[in-house]
Structure 1
C-alpha cells in the first residue's frame, strides 16, 4: 500500500504543482489502484507516473469544486483507449452523476467498460473481504467529504512444522484454517486456527480528507490512521483567511492529526502563494511544532504505508 500524489496545489495549477489528485496504490493487496480526486491534468500526470489506467479500480471524489474533478471526463474517456476494460466504480457527492453523464454525452465520448457512479452523503460506501471505505461530511463551502480506507486484518502465518506433526500437508485444509475454520486431523483431533496460526497482521488505515475547515467530523475519520492526508492551504498567520474560505492551516492539520492519534500526516493542497521551497518548509515546520510526524506531499513520489512493526 502506497500513496502517490499527482497534484498538491489549491485552486489552480502552478508551474510547480498540479491541482488535486492522489492515488492509493494497492498492487500487492488488489493488483490495482484507487484514485482520490481528479483535478484537471490528472491523466497527464498519470502518463508521467508508474500507474496504468487499466489498473484503476475505484475513484473517490471529495467534492465538486473544479480543481478536484475537472480532469474526470478526460480520464474516463482515455481509460477506454488504454486497455481499461474492467468495471470502474466512481464515488462522490450528489451531482456527480449529472456532471459525468452530461460531459460524456455532449462530447460523444464512448467507454467500453462498466462505469458505476455512486452518489453518497457519507456512511459505509464499500466493503469486501479485504477493505472497507467509510465517509463523513466535512466543513467546506459546498458538500465535501473525507474518506477512511480500512484494510482488514490478515491471518497470521501458519506453523507448517506443527501441522506436519499433526499429519496435515499443504492443501485445502490449510485454506480452511486461514479462513478461521477448524479442521479434523487424521487422528481425529479437532484443530482450531488459533492452535497453528501466528499473530494476526493488523490492517492499515489511510484517511484522505477533502477541503475543510477544522471540524469535529475529521477526528473519527482520522482516528489511529497510519496515514492522514490533510489540506494545509495556508500558514497559520492567515488563519482568518483560511476560515473565510473554508480551508485549514498547516497548524490546524497537525492539531487534527494529534487529536486523532494518527501515526503520520501528509500536508497537501498548498496555496499558489507558496511557490518556493523555503515557503513550503515553513508549512512543514509549523505542522511539526504540533505533530512531529508531518511531511510535505511531493508530486510523483511514492510513500509506503507500513504496518506497525515493519
Structure 2
C-alpha cells in the first residue's frame, strides 16, 4: 500500500504544486488504484508516474469545489482510450452525479466501461470485507467529507512446522488453514486454524480529509490512523483567517493528529503563497507540535508497510 500525491496545492494550479489529487495504490492488495479527489490536470500528472488509468477502480471526492473535481470528466473520458474496460465507481457528495452526467453528455463523451456514481452520506460508504471506507462531514462551508480507509486484519503466519509435527503433509489443507477454515480429517478429528496460525496481522488505517476547519469529526476519522492526510492552507498563528475561509493551520492539523493518536501526519493543500523555502518552514512549524509530520509534494509517495505481528 502506497499513497502517491498527484497534486498538493490549494485553490489554483501553480508551478510548484498542482491542485488536489492523490492515489492510494493497492496493487499488491487488490491490483487496483483508488483516487481521492481529481483536480484539474490530474491526468497530466499521472503521465509523469507509473500509474495506469485502467487500474483506477474507485474515485472518492471530498467536496465539489473546482480544485478538487475539474479534472474528473477528462480523466474518465481518457481512460476509455487507455485500455480501461472495468467498472469505475465514483463516490462523492450530492451533486457529483449531475456534474459528471452533464459534463460527459454535453461534451459527447462515450465511456467504454460501466460508470457507477454513488452520492454519499455519513457512515460506511464501502465495505467488501477487505477494505472499509467511512465518511464523515467536515467543516468547510459547503458539504465536505473526510474518508477513513480501514484494511481488514490479515490471518497470522501459517505455523507449517506445527502442522508437520501433527502429521499433516503440505498440500490443500495448509491453504484452508491459512484462510482460517476449520478442517475435518479422514479420522474425524478437526483442525482449528487458531492452533496453527500466528497472531493476526492488524490492518492499516489511512485518513484522507477534505478541506476543513479544525473539527471533532477530523479527530474521529483519524483515530489511531497509520497516516493522516490533513490540509494546512495557513501557517500557525493565522487561525482567525483560516476560520474565516473554512480552512486549517499547520498547528490545527498537528492538533488533530495528536488528539487522534495518529502515527504519522502529512500536510497538503498548501497555498501558492508559500514557495519552496516557506513550505519547509510550514513543515518545521508543524513538527514543533507533532514530530512525525511530513509535507506533501507533487509526486511524493508514502509507503505504508504491513504491521508486524
TM-score, with length taken from structure 2: 0.97
**Deviation per CA, 1:161-220, whole angstroms, max 9, x where unpaired?**
221233333443233323322212344332211110011111000000000000111111
Structure 2 residue 265 is the aligned partner of structure 1 residue 249: no
CA distance in 1, matches of 2:251, 2:170: 53
Question: 1:248–1:28: structure 2 CA closer, same or farther, 3 Å change rule?
Answer: same
Residue in 2 that maps onto 1:36? 36
CA distance in 1, matches of 2:138, 2:217: 6
Say whether the 8 Å CA contact 1:167–1:185 is kept in structure 2. Answer: no
More moved, 67-76 vs 233-242: 233-242
Root-mean-square deviation (CA, aligned residues, Å) is 1.3
Structure 2 residue 287 is the aligned partner of structure 1 residue 288: yes
Structure 2 residue 47 is the aligned partner of structure 1 residue 47: yes
Say whether the 8 Å CA contact 1:6–1:46 is kept in structure 2. Answer: yes
CA distance in 1, matches of 2:104, 2:201: 43
Task: Tell me the SS of whatever aligns to 2:237.
Answer: helix
More moved, 23-32 vs 298-307: 298-307
CA distance in 2, matches of 1:67, 1:279: 22
Say whether the 8 Å CA contact 1:223–1:261 is kept in structure 2. Answer: yes
Between the two proteins, the alignment pairs up a number of residues equal to: 309
Residue in 2 that maps onto 1:262? 262
Say whether the 8 Å CA contact 2:57–2:89 is kept in structure 1. Answer: yes
CA distance in 1, matches of 2:161, 2:65: 57
Task: Tell me the SS of whatever aligns to 1:82.
Answer: coil
Say whether the 8 Å CA contact 1:57–1:89 is kept in structure 2. Answer: yes
CA distance in 2, matches of 1:25, 1:102: 29
Say whether the 8 Å CA contact 2:201–2:308 is kept in structure 1. Answer: no
CA distance in 2, matches of 1:168, 1:82: 48
Residue in 2 that maps onto 1:147? 147
TM-score, with length taken from structure 1: 0.97
Task: Tell me the SS of whatever aligns to 1:243.
Answer: helix
Pairing of 1:209-288 with structure 2 (within 5 A): 209-275=209-275, 277-288=276-287
**Deviation per CA, 1:264-287, whole angstroms, max 9, x where unpaired?**
000000111002x22011111111
CA distance in 1, matches of 2:185, 2:29: 32
Structure 1 unpaired stretches of 5+: none
Residue in 1 that maps onto 2:69? 69
